[in-house]
């Protein structure tokens, strides 16, 4: 049975600010439903993605900025970073993991500066936060592992 991740709920403090930020990054606005003063749902989809993000008023009780490790996979991390920076995203410099496995959560003890030296798939990263502090990472993948 196939199961596909469809939506990730983001906790934000200012719905209009978050909407403007993500639209500015090129995310497609799919919906903005204002049901009442206490309930609003905004859905946006990253370019090329089948999964979307949702935020709004009355959507989640999670603290704004508490979502971390949201991952955007890109074919060319240098081009993706340049595009996001040109759109106003505060994207970090490139980094890779000392063990070559995963980028390690914030703290960065295992993060080494620069692109993965051989440019191996799954190895190069950059990161940014939205205005509320929700954390995103870019990961470069040109050729997926078999079965992925």
For 68-148, CATH gives: 3.10.180
Residue 10: strand, helix, or coil? coil
CATH class of 1-61: alpha beta
- Where the chain has pLDDT below 70, the residues are 104-108, 148
Which distant-in-sequence residues (6+ apart) come within 8 Å of 21 by Cβ?
88, 130, 131
Beta bridge partners of 43: 31, 54
- Which of helix, strand or coil describes residue 79? helix
**1-61 against 68-148: fold identical:** yes
Specify the pTM. Answer: 0.92
The residue extents of the domains of the chain are 1-61, 68-148
H/E stretch holding 135 reads strand 135-140
What is the C-alpha separation between 38 and 90, in angstroms, rounded? 31
């Amino acid at each position: 049975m196939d199961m596909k991740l469809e939506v990730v709920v983001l906790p934000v403090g200012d719905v209009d600010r978050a909407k403007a930020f993500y639209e500015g990054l090129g995310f497609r606005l799919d919906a903005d439903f204002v049901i009442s003063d206490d309930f609003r749902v905004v859905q946006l989809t990253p370019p090329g993605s089948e999964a979307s993000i949702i935020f709004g008023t009355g959507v989640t009780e999670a603290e704004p900025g508490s979502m971390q490790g949201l991952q955007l996979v890109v074919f060319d991390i240098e081009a993706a970073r340049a595009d996001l920076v040109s759109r106003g995203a505060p994207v970090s410099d490139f980094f890779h993991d000392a063990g070559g496995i995963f980028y390690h959560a914030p703290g960065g003890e295992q993060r080494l500066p620069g692109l993965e030296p051989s440019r191996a798939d799954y190895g190069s990263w950059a990161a940014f936060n939205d205005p509320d502090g929700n954390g995103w990472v870019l990961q470069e993948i040109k050729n997926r592992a078999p079965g992925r």
